[in-house]
Structure 1
Amino acid sequence: MPPAADRGSVLGQLALSELRMFVRAKAGPIFAIGLPLALLIIFGNIPFYNEHRKSLDGYTLLDVYVPILSAFVLATLSFNVVPAVLVSYREKGVLRRLRTTPVGPARVLAAQLLVNLGTAAVSVVAVLLVGRFGFGVELPRQAGGYAVGIVLAALALMSIGLFVAAVATSSQVADAVGTTLFYVMMFFAGLFLPIGAMPSLLKHISRAAPLGAAVQALTDASEGHWPHAAQLLTLVAYVVVFGAGAVRWFRWE
């Protein structure tokens, strides 16, 4: 077994290689970084989204949408990028071939996660800064709570993405499942209809959905409150259940 330093060096090289391919493909950076910023800029330039509303406790719709766009970033990477890449590697025999080398396929998974988590961090920070300095949206008042919410949300959604990659039988299936999950999850995150405006039944479903719990945690932190324990525990539950499922059923070939 190679020394720990060598293993770290191999993982770093793999992560750089995965990052180059991720950037070269262009679709990932465009959808994970460019699209949320484009939506923020569009919303920010529409007066309707900048009106303070009593129904939102004095906040604007743009204030409400910034946490949703942070969740949008995580959903894009977790449902549309991670499963497609890993299933593609399995179909092409990349993971099978790596099983016979000292590198091992597990490091490819780790490198993929590092690249996607790093991309998510860059995109979320960009959304927050553009919102603040471009349109006057306050930065999260409870920064620690916001960071905890983002990390748990990222782990929960990446676990679901890895589970999809584990059970999907082909790239087409992974794409179809990932796309369906993305739109369903974004609905319950409030992208198309704010959570506060949802009927009672949909609100309950939203609280139980990973993106719904994430957005509510991020919203609480934005307003200066520590995220509610129920929201954080919901995200932890998704990490445990889908992370264990991904490990149990992941196929290298």
Structure 2
Amino acid sequence: MSALSRLTATETKLFFREPVIVFFALAFPPLLLVVLGLVPSMREPQPSLGGGTVLGLYVPIVIALGLAMFALNGLSQLFATYREKGVLRRMRTTPVKPGTMLGAQVLMSLVLSAGTMVVVLLIGRFAFDVPLPGQAVAYVLGYLLVALALFAIGLLIASIAPSGKAAGAIGTLVFFPLMFFAGLWLPRDSMNPVLRTISDFTPLGAGVQSLQDATAGHWPQVLHLAVLLGWAIVAGGLAARYFRWE
């Protein structure tokens, strides 16, 4: 096994030793979808949505919520705690490079969060008759880009935060405005032009719209894919630049 695969396996085992983080990162999104699906009005076809349901509109938002909680509240706090407890300082004496460490964290997070995405989609389809994405390839592409963008932001927070608690606090401060522009409280279609434009340039606003477009059977807009790629490159580069062992 390569150093990356061994480190990824180790980080996965350590991740599952944190029950609170595991619950909110992996179990909360499917449970939230079930709660929303039990509301009758969420399942009623809406003429304004082309016969679709509000629940179908919220499936990508719930998936984005899970990614945001994983990256901003789970991954960032876990990684910063490693530094605070001296775990990273001890790793400094090994051949492990910062890029390998960051790569292992991203790979672990990507695989686990993808599993949650699949569970959410299956619950929506078989429990509440929400159609699966009409453009599967585009959906996977949009998901990968929004995941990479959010994990890069989470690792950037972890790289600059002085402690695990500070990383959790910063992640929470970033989480709520990003979820607002993702449409959690006010759907993007209901936003005024100014809010909608701002949303287009946020990772979750661009990400949710990309997933909704793919669900409807369309390819995401180039603007949204470019925004996601830009966030992943910039935040990822800064995370590697400001990575600190101690």
State the TM-score, normalized to the length of structure 1.
Answer: 0.93
1:78 aligns with 2:97: no
Q: 1:172-210: CA deviations, max 9, x gaps?
A: 221111011111111111111111112222111111111
SS in 2 for 1:225: coil
Range with greater deviation from structure 2 (146-155 or 82-91): 82-91
- Is the Cα contact below 8 Å between 1:98 and 1:105 reproduced in 2? no
Structure 1 position 242, deviation (Å):
1.1
* Match runs of 1:171-250 below 5 Å: 171-250=164-243
Aligned mates of 1:167, 1:20 — CA distance in 2: 25
Q: Does 1:157 align with 2:150?
A: yes
Matched AA of 1:72? L
User: What SS does the aligned partner of 1:24 have?
Assistant: coil
Deviations 1:143-185 (A, max 9, x none): 0000000000011111111111122122222111101111111
Deviation at 1:14, TM superposition (A): 2.5
The alpha-carbon deviation at position 53 of structure 1 amounts to 1.4
Indicate the residue corresponding to 2:84 in structure 1: 91
1:136 is matched by which residue type in structure 2? D
Whole-Å Cα distance in 2 between the matches of residues 211 and 194 of structure 1? 12
Residues 108-135 of structure 1 deviation map (CA, whole Å, 9 limit, x = unaligned): 3332222211111100000001100111
| Residue 79 (structure 2) pairs with residue 59 (structure 1) | no
| SS of residue in 1 equivalent to 2:73 | helix
Contact residue 95 and residue 105 of structure 1 kept, 8 A: no
Gaps of 5+ in 1: none
The residue that corresponds to 1:109 in the other structure is 102
Q: CA RMSD in A?
A: 1.4
Instruction: Determine the structure 2 residue equivalent to 1:24.
Output: 17
Over residues 84-111 of structure 1, what are the superposed CA-to-partner deviations in whole Å (9 max), with x where a residue is unaligned?
1111111111111111123455433332
CA contact (8 A) 2:98 2:243 kept: no
Matched to 1:114, the amino acid is L
- Paired residues of 2:134 and 2:215 also in contact (CA < 8 A): yes
Greater shift, 24-33 or 189-198, is seen at 24-33
Match of 1:168 in 2: 161
Kept in 1, the 8 Å contact 2:149–2:228? The answer is yes
1:76 maps to a residue whose letter is: M
Query: Which one is further off, 216-225 or 16-25?
Result: 16-25
Structure 2, unmatched stretches of 5+, are none
In structure 1, distance between residues paired with 2:224 and 2:14? 35
